[in-house]
Amino acid sequence: MANLAEVALSMSEFEAIRLIDFEGMSQTKAGDKMHISQSTLSRILSSGRKKIADAIINGKAIKIEK
C-alpha cells in the first residue's frame, strides 16, 4: 500500500460526498449545512467524485486531507 500513488481529497470534497452520496441529502440542504451555496457545493462534489473515480480506475490510494 505504501507504493500506491495517492489522490488527495479535501475535507470539503469528503464532506460533500458524505452528505450527498452516503447520507442521501439534497444538494440544497447539504450546501446549507456546509454554509456554502448549492452551486459551490456542486463544483466541490464534482471534483471529489472525479478524484474518487481516478483512484478506483487507476488503483490509487485515497488520502483525506485535513
Position 3 scores a pLDDT of 84
**What domains can be seen in the chain, in order of their start residue?**
6-64 (1.10.10.10)
Distance, in Å, from the CA atom of 46 to the CA atom of 17, rounded to the nearest integer, reads 9
2 has a pLDDT exceeding 90: no
Contact 40, 12 (CB under 8 A): no
Q: Is the pLDDT of residue 1 over 90?
A: no
**pLDDT for res 23:** 98
The CA-based angle 7-9-10, given to 5 degrees, is 145
At 9-66, the pLDDT tens digits run 999 999 999 999 999 999 999 999 999 999 999 999 999 999 999 999 999 999 999 8
pLDDT of residue 66: 85
